[in-house]
Structure 1
Amino acid sequence: MIEMSGYLARGGPPGGADTAGAPPGAEPRPAGTPRTVGIVWGLLALNTLGSAGAKTIVPLPRSLIQMVTMGALGAAFALALAVNLRPRVRSSAFVFLLTLLLVPSVISSANLEVGFGALFRCARLALFVGTLWLLSRWWDGSLTFVRYHIRMYFAVLGLVAAGLVVSPGTALPEYYGGRLVGALWPLTPPQIGQYSAVIIGLTVLLLLGRRTTGAGAAVIIVPSLVLLALTHTRTATLGLLIGLVLAIGSLMLTSAAARRFFAWAVLCATVAAVVFSSALQAWFLRGQSQENLSSLTGRAKVWDALLAAPRTASEQVFGVGLGDKSFGGLPIDNSWLAVYNEQGLMGVALVAAFILVLGGVALLRPPSPARACAIFLISYVGISSYTEAGLGDASPYLLHLALAASLLAAPAAATPRPTATPLTTTAAVPRRRIPLWARR
């Protein structure tokens, strides 16, 4: 039986030993969340790394990579079920709408227009959503899952940096225009740029919220900025900058540190734009012509062809089934068009619904570091959805939004503990009347 419970720690309600003596509204201590939950979150991130990308130093068969990623998802679900054996979940509009997204996915994939792989992807999405339901028990609005997120993706970037040191030629190949790729694990420049931008933004917000030290933040931010620059990823850079502006803006009324950081950031950006304008323009163009840039590196041609393709009424409503996010053999590179192609208008409506719900809840929450992190993630995903696909299937973007949902979850009310009846009670105790014949 599924219990809709707000319990945050195994075997006890929130506000117990882990939060004793804390002021009202304070975050529960990390000890309230089992370590296994962090492992499950890391396995979910491993599953979303993908199996197609750059050439690695040691060629890895795609079947082997798929076994690792799918095995990670299966292990994540099994561990989440083990740590939440009597399944208790918290109500979440985001995960509920994500569950509804399975409906058009299964209906369209059952036609097998894109092969049996569509049903396999549906099963993968179902496991992904099921694991999120099991983890929702520990979604309490704290920053615990933010730290899981940063650690996992920083470990991935460490692998990328190791490949760059071991084989610079493989990590900066000519077929990608000298952009950084994964030399030990097949990661593309947009993937590396995405992971770098997300953990940079989250770490900056933790620093502004005084949830980490300057030295600890520098260890994360400095190498991640270097890797982001080497990827030449425009979408990730714009998402980072715009997301941070919106997130820091949500803190400016209550945080002096946020106001100081914003003022210094504007000043440094202005100086950099004046002094390094030519270098920044060359980095942004990546050697491309203005015509190629205006067509979004050829993406617009694929989008026009997809929209012009004839479709039946069923395909318009439910799509053609979960595929590899391509059309005519070319990547779609747009989340909304990819969802329209694979899950139809119903899928587009559901994706728009859970993004709007997350955004609306974020606006209603009082200013806090958790709310700022959620605003950053929602903004980043919204910007990236224009040139990257992934909102309709198990992907890092859905994991980012799941993290935002965990940050926006309201802390569960503490369950009052039963108190013992005091020995000195004022209640009248009825006396037993003893018959006269029984008295001595």
Structure 2
Amino acid sequence: MDERTNTRPRTAPEAGTGPGAAGTPRTVGVVWGLLVLNTLGSAGAKTIVPLPRSLIQMVTMGALVAAFALALTVNLRLRVRPSAYLLLLTLLLVTSVISSANLESGFGALFRCFRLALFIGTLWLLSRWWDGSLTFVRYHIRAYFAVLGSVAAGLVVSPGAALPDLYGGRLVGALWPLTPPQIGQYAAVIIGLTVLLVLGRRTDGTSAAVVIVPSLVLLALTHTRTATLGLFIGLALAIGSLVLTSAAARRFFTWAVVCAVVAGVGFASALQTWFLRGQSKENFSSLTGRAKVWDALLSAPRSTSEKFLGVGLGDKSFGGLPIDNSWLAVYNEQGLAGVTLVAVIIIVLGAVALLRPPSLQRACAIFLISYCAVASYTEAGLGDASPYLLHLALAAALLAAPAAAAPGPAPGLPRRPAHRPEAT
């Protein structure tokens, strides 16, 4: 999406438009896209052309290795920027290695630790270009929009495979095995970021509509409640942070409230039907059976070591059933130490965002942090290489201080010539 031309006179470089944003190599965008590919996962719906899980894992793991290699290529001098987020992630990696060393979860736990190490290492290498600009926001939107493009293509090619009865008619990935919650998450995140770019006048309405309209359709077809709530709550907080400084944000917020009231009154029945997805009240109250898994996990006997360090990185399941809660998944695999580190990550990012002056970058960061916090209740991923850690990495990049520019002469003053001694 192209940025609108700004004709205002500038007296100083604006946040996100300094030398760091302009000097980011294109390879960095490729690396970010490979990280997105790596976090798509290997388990999901049946595809039109059956893809062996081993092949999918080879592609996703190969993408991570390629991302690390490319990041190392463009940052051979290993220049990194200090980052509390990456430091805390590194401590979480150390905790994961310690908890996985006893092999209670098998050798797969050590492999997942290696994957997490490559993931964090790649982010460290990319941190050189974290300067508070919107560069990585555009990378994020483009990468996930490409993923949603494959979902839309699968829906067009084979509607039956894309809306299977196995998932209650909810949209899945027919070309690449993606589940409804995954698709809903990707759609919600790029919708929210694109809306904020429009409000900040960093993209035009046509380009934004190309992203927002089809993404909204895909989000509606997934019937994903968590993604929808995360989108609304995240946007409300993000736009609220701009209300005092942006007339566009105030207008959007007002119209959003009016539309929400009208929709609530005129389409209450349809919205309730979509929200319940045909579930009984008992099934809905137990969060589609999640609460039963959570109760079983919390009531299971654990040793002192398992309570504080967990059982090692696994597949985010308990008793063969998905945990679907980031906090309980981290507690199960990395113990109370992991839960503490993840909580500190969210708190630190949130505190930094609140302390920053109002800006579009700050609003985007608040949206991402809020979305991940909401989704953590019914989705796992905050303790391992996942889209959620990538969303938070983007928030950390947005909250980073702009790179210091090289000092030069004051504006409007002539450069003083160097003193040369006269010949004797």
Q: Secondary structure at the match of 2:242?
A: coil
- In structure 1, how many angstroms separate the alpha carbons of the residues matched to 2:370 and 2:62? 31
Work out whether 1:250 is the aligned partner of 2:241.
Answer: yes
**C-alpha deviation, 1:420, in angstroms:** 8.9
The alpha-carbon deviation at position 423 of structure 1 amounts to 4.6
Which of 230, 235, 241 is equivalent to 2:232? 241
Q: Is the 8 A contact 1:391 1:397 kept in 2?
A: yes
- Matching of residue 400 in structure 1 with residue 391 in structure 2: yes
Alignment pair present for 1:308 and 2:308: no
Match of 1:422 among 387, 411, 417: 417
Which residue of structure 1 aligns with residue 18 of structure 2? 28
Give the Cα–Cα distance (whole angstroms) in 2 for the partners of residues 154 and 127 of structure 1: 24
Aligned residue identity for 1:274: V
CA–CA separation in structure 1 for the residues paired with 2:415 and 2:253:
54
Choose the corresponding residue for 1:80, options 67, 71, 75. 71
Q: Are 1:49 and 1:396, in contact at CA under 8 Å, matched by a contact in 2?
A: yes
Alignment of 1:56-75 (within 5 A): 56-75=47-66
For the pair shown, which has the larger CA radius of gyration, 1 or 2? Answer: 1
Decide which of 59, 73, 94 is 1:103's aligned counterpart.
94
The one of 18, 25, 45 aligned to 2:36: 45
**Structure-to-structure mapping, 1:267-306, within 5 angstroms:** 267-306=258-297
Q: How does 1:13-412 map to 2 (within 5 A)?
A: 23-26=12-15, 27-28=17-18, 30-412=21-403
**What CA distance in whole angstroms lies between the structure 2 residues aligned with 1:322 and 1:342?**
5
For 2:69 and 2:408, the matched residues in 1 are separated by: 32
Contact 2:145 2:211 in 1 (8 A): yes
Q: Structure 1 length normalisation: TM-score? A: 0.91
Q: Corresponding residue for 2:5? A: none
SS of corresponding position for 1:195: helix
Mapped partners of 1:399, 1:431: distance in 2: 63
1-side partners of 2:94 and 2:305: how far apart? 13
- Give the deviation of 1:417 after TM superposition: 5.6
Distance 1:430 1:169, change over 3 A: closer
Match in the other structure for 2:6 = none
How far is 1:31 from its partner?
3.3
**CA distance in 2 between partners of 1:243 and 1:79 (Å):** 33
Match of 2:407, SS state, is coil
1:44-74 deviation digits (Å, cap 9, x = unpaired): 0000000000000000000000000000000
Change (3 A) 1:303 1:156: same
C-alpha change, 1:81 and 1:431, in structure 2 (3 Å) is: closer
Conserved? CA contact 1:339–1:392, under 8 Å: yes
Distance (whole Å) between structure 1 residues aligned to residue 242 and residue 418 of structure 2: 51
Paired residue type of 1:53: G
Question: Aligned AA for 2:417?
Answer: P
**Cα distance in 2 for residues equivalent to 1:344 and 1:271:** 46
Unpaired runs of at least 5, structure 2: 1-8
Distance verdict in 2 for CA 1:192–1:314, change over 3 Å:
same
Going from structure 1 to structure 2, the CA distance change for 1:341 and 1:423 (only over 3 Å counts) comes to closer
Please say if residues 18 and 402 of structure 2, whose CA atoms lie closer than 8 Å, have aligned partners that are also in contact.
no
| TM-superposed deviation, 1:28 | 2.5
Q: Which amino acid aligns with 2:321?
A: L
Q: 2:326 touches 2:379 (CA, 8 Å); kept in 1?
A: yes
Q: Within 1, Cα distance between the matches of 2:422 and 2:211?
A: 71
**What is the count of residue pairs matched by the alignment?**
410
Offset, 1:38: 0.1
**Preserved contact between residue 226 and residue 374 of structure 2 (Cα < 8 Å):** yes
Distance apart, 1:115 and its partner CA: 0.8
**Identical pairs, percent:** 81
1:104/1:319 contact within 8 Å kept: no
What's the CA shift for 1:422? 3.0
The CA deviation at 1:290 is 1.0
Q: 1:263 and 1:423 mapped to 2: Cα distance?
A: 59
Normalising by structure 2, what TM-score? 0.94
Displacement of 1:158 in angstroms is: 0.4
Identify the residue that residue 8 of structure 1 maps to in structure 2: none
Matching residue's letter, 2:153: A
Letter in 2 for 1:25: E
Residues 191-231 of structure 1: CA deviation (Å, up to 9, x unaligned): 00000000000000000000000011000000000000000
Give the Cα separation in 1 of the matches to 2:314 and 2:423. 80
Q: CA deviation at 1:25?
A: 3.0
Aligned partner letter, 1:185 = W
Query: Which 5+ residue runs of structure 1 have no aligned equivalent?
Result: 1-19, 433-440
